[in-house]
Amino acid sequence: MTGDPHRGPGVGGPLDPRALRADCASCAGLCCVVPAFSRSSDFAIDKPAGRPCPNLQRDCRCGIHSELDQRGFHGCTVFDCLGAGQKVVQTVFAGRDWHEDPAVAQQMFAVFPVVRQLHELLWHLAEALALDLPAGLRAELAAAGERIDALTRQAPVALAAVEPGDEFQRANPLLQRASEHLRAGVRPRGADRRGAQLMGANLRGADLRGTSLRGARLVGADLRAADLRLADLTGADLRGADLRGADLSTALFVTQAQLDSARGDASTRIPAARVLPARWTRPAVAVRLDPPRGRRRKPTR
């Protein structure tokens, strides 16, 4: 990958990207316990919230980790806690083990989704800070990150009472300003498709440069050879979208999970900070796309 001219210098502290990467060895399998999932194209079984997946071993390792796609657990392969798991276990609960204490388990399971959503917001703020933005906006983004990181380090009772949606609303204008600043120079700029319902849409070869696709539903969309440079993909649903030959090299706010949930190949150009999903370069596993089961909260709209 070549360098991105729109990116500024790296950052440290709570918005250092290294602090927002999952470290499963420092967690306790929370992503395999806390969420509920239903039998679908993403999961081979039903599992209620708060119950360990039957594939979770006592050492908090997945017993079928190397065969998740083949066993029907594609949803597990695209989930990313963005460092929330180790934050909850090692910082909020000082390394305590939920297996040994039911009271700790209840509290830990309650705060994990809160910290996961706050870390998603921190990731977006960190991504914005890595871009070439005016000094004043960078200072506001950094201050927002410091405030939100402090929320994630509270005692469990206080942390469980935090409403991530309120934090998203406070930070959203900053992220929108960052997006507008970067996309302002694109001429002509694509139409605003924020929140658009584009499931299965034929967008092959489309010029989407600078387009706002925030929260757009692009499930199964044909985006082969589409130009998505400087398009804002905040919270866009790319499950099963065909990105073969598409150019996302400078697309804004593209998460690794979004790429992992889509289809692509070695000809897909992705942002320099992301990695090419391994399954894009090996024989594909057939995946059936089910209609989404309710709306998931997205970082910003």
Distances (CA, A) of 154 to 34, 40, 76, 83, 94: 20, 36, 28, 16, 12
**CATH 2.160.20.80 region(s) of the chain?**
186-280
Residue 12 above 70 pLDDT? no
DSSP code of 87? I
| pLDDT score recorded for residue 74 | 86
Query: What is the pTM for the complete model shown?
Result: 0.84
Query: Could you tell me if residue 245 is left (phi over 0), alpha (psi between -120 and 50 degrees) or otherwise beta?
Result: left
Question: Which residue do the tokens 């992220």 mark?
Answer: 175
What confidence tier does 283 reach under pLDDT thresholds 50, 70, 90?
Answer: low
> In the chain, which residue ranges form alpha helices assigned H by DSSP?
74-78, 84-86, 102-129, 135-152, 156-160, 164-183, 256-261
3-class secondary structure per residue, 143-196:
HHHHHHHHHHCCCHHHHHCCCHHHHHHHHHHHHHHHHHHHHCCCCCCCCCCCCC
Neighbours of 151 (CB within 10 A): 17
Domain 186-280 has CATH 2.160.20.80: yes
Task: Give the pLDDT mean for 92-100.
Answer: 90
Q: 149-171, pLDDT tens digit by residue?
A: 999 999 999 999 999 999 999 99
| pLDDT score recorded for residue 150 | 96
